[in-house]
Chains A and B, each alone.
Chain A
Amino acid sequence: MKKLVNDKFISISNLIFSYKKNNLFNNFNLSLDNNMFTSIIGENGSGKTTLTKLICGMITPNFGNVFIENRDVSKMNLSEVGNIIGYLFQNPEKQIFGESVIDELSFAMKFNGISIDIINGKVEHILEKFDLEEIKDQKCHLLSHGEKQRVALSTIFLKNPKYLILDEPTTGLDVLRKEMLYKLLNNIKNDGVGILMISHDLEFVDKLSDRIIMLENGRVIKDEYCS
């Protein structure tokens, strides 16, 4: 197959994916820029989460390719993808493994053999950036949903990802927490990190997005750039 070479950060070409016998994506094509906040909206079962999982290589397509920086995802390890793209699961509990917040922040670095001094420096910086100083010694399982989400998001930032994928980050957040998340994502966006967000919260989407994609049964039915 001819390798797709373009300036897009993420390119999806001729993707076919089916769940059991249901064809979800049929010849699906999409390109995503790095310096843009893109939101995907659509009803339940339209393929939003599946699409992000296909982008990261968590699931394999039946046919077609996904390229990240012109590298074929099917030829990359999940850990390699994880070093380029930060993925926030819908349920942050899925990606929290440390006992306390500090343990959680240093979790991946410890396993990657990074020295304690570097870990401490990075953790301190992230604690400050994500306003986690107050809860740094708290047990992760005792945190509220919003706090867990902030911790999960902060662990992603320890790797300085070039791109972020957020799966329904506003779910279960109250108005105050949502406002905090908005400010945080706005800062990340201004730092030049590309973001792909799945959300049902249209107001939140409208406030942040540069591009809004609407999915229906695995098809893009609307793709608009916001002014």
Chain B
Amino acid sequence: MSIVLKKENIDPRVKIFIVMCISTLAILINDIKFLSYVLSISILFTVGFKVNLYIVIKKFKRLFQMIFVIVIIQSIFNSEGAILISVFKITLLTDIGLIKGIEYILRMLIIISSALILSTSSSVVLLQGLLKCKIPYELAFMVCIGLRFIPILSEEIKDTFIAIQIRGIDIRKLKLKKKLELVSITLMPVVISTIDKSKKLSASIEARGFRKYLTRTSIYELKFSLKDFILIFSIIVLSSLIVFSYFK
């Protein structure tokens, strides 16, 4: 029996490097204009790696709503700067609060969009990439397994809320206190089931002789191609341009 592993176009190490550069820029920069540039670069790479942004937006709709609510709360509690909106002498929104809110949104979008680049690699290939970056095998394996659990967890939560509603509970009509109570009750089975799944997975890994041998071989060898070097060069140039212009 032959095992065929589809060779990926771009080396996972390049993807990891791009994500590192973009997310570091997102943390370093505190300026709307420059953060917009970083976001544009991040989206450019995301689209370049053939991530379907429409599906992502649909999937992360709730997360975006949550980010928006956090931004509003963050802006309201920021009293620095000139007042933009106030009600009965209570400051609701200041210019600095608004700027910080927009920066927060941009930063989150950069991190989410850049992280999507990693989702274009399979976990096996990503694991190889992390190993080549001298990350200890156990740690790299843990990261890949962790990534594998994200969609499982999201699916479990989705199913749980469907199961609640099909039992005749209209979540939208519940008061906030009841909603929070419901979330705390329902998240418990999700967490328990995820822990259960991880236990089964670890038992299965052990049964298959995980780390029995010190050296681990792979049928898939990573090699840099010209395309990879061009991508590394372009992200270095773009990041340097932004850093120099920002700290100038």
- Count of A-B contacts with CB under 8 A? 56
Q: Is the CB of A159 within 8 A of B168?
A: yes
Q: Is the CB of A108 within 8 A of B185?
A: no
Question: A95 in the interface, Cβ–Cβ < 8 Å?
Answer: yes
Q: Is the CB of B186 within 8 A of A97?
A: yes
Known interface pairs A111-B178, A141-B192; A97-B164 also in contact (CB < 8 Å): yes
Q: Is the CB of A81 within 8 A of B170?
A: no
Known interface pairs A97-B186, A111-B174; A83-B168 also in contact (CB < 8 Å): yes
Known interface pairs A94-B160, A111-B174, A111-B182; A58-B166 also in contact (CB < 8 Å): yes
Question: B80 in the interface, Cβ–Cβ < 8 Å?
Answer: no
Known interface pairs A94-B160, A111-B178; A82-B192 also in contact (CB < 8 Å): no
B96 to chain A, nearest CB (A): 42
Q: Is the CB of B169 within 8 A of A89?
A: no
B162 to chain A, nearest CB (A): 5
A68 to chain B, nearest CB (A): 13
Q: Which residues of A contact B185 (CB under 8 A)?
A: 97, 107
Using CB atoms, name the residue of chain B closest to A58.
B162
Give residues 172-191 of B contacting A (CB, 8 Å): 172, 174, 178, 182, 185-186, 189
Q: Is the CB of B169 within 8 A of A108?
A: yes
Give residues 36-77 of A contacting B (CB, 8 Å): 56, 58, 77
Q: Which residues of A contact B192 (CB under 8 A)?
A: 141
Using CB atoms, name the residue of chain A closest to B171.
A79
Q: Which residues of A contact B70 (CB under 8 A)?
A: none
Using CB atoms, name the residue of chain B closest to A103.
B185
**B167, B172, B178: the one within 8 Å of A82 (CB):** B167
The distance in angstroms between the C-alpha atoms of A189 and B186, with both chains bound, is 32
B39 to chain A, nearest CB (A): 28
The distance in angstroms between the C-alpha atoms of A81 and B162, with both chains bound, is 11
| A interface footprint on B75-106 (CB within 8 Å = 1, 0 otherwise) | 00000000000000000000000000000000
Prevailing SS type, chain A contact patch? helix
**B163, B166, B169, B189: the one within 8 Å of A111 (CB):** B169
Question: A87 in the interface, Cβ–Cβ < 8 Å?
Answer: yes
Question: B165 in the interface, Cβ–Cβ < 8 Å?
Answer: yes
A10 to chain B, nearest CB (A): 15
Query: Among B159, B168, B172, B193, which residue has the most Cβ atoms of chain A within 10 A?
Result: B168
Q: Which residues of A contact B168 (CB under 8 A)?
A: 79, 82-83, 108, 112, 159
Question: A196 in the interface, Cβ–Cβ < 8 Å?
Answer: no
Using CB atoms, name the residue of chain B closest to A78.
B165
Give residues 105-162 of A contacting B (CB, 8 Å): 107-108, 111-112, 141, 155-156, 159
Known interface pairs A111-B178, A141-B192; A95-B163 also in contact (CB < 8 Å): yes
Q: Is the CB of A79 within 8 A of B163?
A: no
Known interface pairs A93-B189, A97-B186, A97-B189; A77-B170 also in contact (CB < 8 Å): yes
Q: 7 closest A-B pairs (Cβ-Cβ)?
A: A78-B165, A79-B170, A82-B166, A95-B163, A82-B168, A108-B167, A83-B168
Residues of A near any B CB (own CB < 8 A) = 56, 58, 77-83, 85, 87, 89, 93-97, 107-108, 111-112, 141, 155-156, 159
Q: Taking A79-B167, A79-B170, A83-B168 as given, write out 12 further A-B residue pairs in contact, using a Cβ cutoff of 8 Å, ordered by the A residue number.
A: A56-B166, A78-B166, A79-B165, A79-B166, A79-B169, A85-B166, A89-B163, A93-B193, A94-B159, A95-B163, A111-B169, A112-B168
